[in-house]
């Protein structure tokens, strides 16, 4: 997990550095960090464990404050916000879309 986790940290820092470097050109850079989201990758992960998606979802859902798996539509809505004019003064930010998992 060291490589995976180090890469995640590097991406967060890179986004902040890019926000700093590109802000003068009115270019905003933010980082969107989804948690457990129902995607084909999660379904395939369940299969690789010899389990159904529902079994894995039942195990993962209690790990966040909202007690469920997120949807791709929820992540897309957050991405749409970040690229919208409503977020015109948001840069260098990290938005966790993980049901509160990272707040633990």
| Alpha-carbon gap, residue 46 to 42, rounded angstroms | 6
Q: From CA 21, how far away is CA 19, in angstroms rounded?
A: 6
4 is catalytic: yes
Instruction: Output Rg (C-alpha) for the chain, integer angstroms.
Output: 16
Q: Of 1, 2, 3, 4, which is the active-site residue?
A: 4
Ramachandran bin of 50, using left for φ above 0, alpha for ψ from -120 to 50, beta for the remaining angles = left
Report the DSSP beta bridge partners of residue 94. 31
Catalytic positions are: 4
């Amino acid at each position: 997990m060291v490589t995976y986790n180090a890469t995640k940290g590097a991406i967060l820092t890179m986004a902040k550095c890019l926000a700093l470097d590109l802000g003068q050109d009115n270019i905003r850079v933010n980082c969107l960090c989804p948690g457990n989201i129902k995607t084909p990758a999660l379904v395939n992960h369940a299969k690789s464990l010899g389990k159904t998606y529902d079994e894995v979802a039942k195990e993962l859902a209690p790990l966040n404050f909202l007690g469920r798996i997120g949807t791709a539509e929820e992540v897309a809505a957050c991405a749409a916000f970040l690229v919208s004019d409503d977020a015109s003064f948001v840069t260098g930010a990290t938005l966790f879309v993980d049901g509160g998992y990272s707040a633990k």
